[in-house]
């Protein structure tokens, strides 16, 4: 339902649709579920911290896709490139993060 609302709003108000789409609903629902199953403040803090670090590699995708499309790259190739970049950055974070003291 949230996806339908976001895409409907984005047709008329792209910024507002993007705001709705950017809501961290999965993260919030996941934290609620985790807390209900295991109400442990230290574990929740570690989960929230790791979630923050895993969000960062996905952000460049939202810059790459419009940049490619402005250079007349089609939507599907731009989306594929954005997803590929995100996978590469997730891999880099997972590999490099612990070497810099990040507990993921």
**pLDDT > 90? residue 1:** no
Instruction: Give residue-wise pLDDT tens across range 60-70.
Output: 999 999 999 99
How confident is the model at residue 100, as a pLDDT?
94
| Dihedrals phi, psi of 74, to nearest 5 degrees | -65, 165
Instruction: Give residue-wise pLDDT tens across range 17-65.
Output: 999 999 899 999 999 999 999 999 999 999 999 999 999 999 999 999 9
């Amino acid at each position: 339902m949230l996806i339908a609302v976001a895409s409907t709003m984005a047709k008329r108000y792209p910024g507002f649709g993007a705001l709705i789409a950017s809501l961290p609903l999965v993260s919030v629902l996941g934290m609620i579920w985790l807390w209900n199953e295991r109400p442990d403040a230290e574990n929740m803090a570690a989960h929230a911290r790791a979630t923050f670090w895993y969000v960062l590699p996905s952000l460049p995708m939202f810059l790459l896709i419009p940049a490619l499309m402005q250079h007349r790259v089609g939507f599907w190739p731009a989306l594929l490139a954005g997803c590929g970049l995100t996978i590469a950055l997730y891999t880099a974070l997972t590999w490099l993060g612990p070497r810099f003291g990040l507990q993921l």
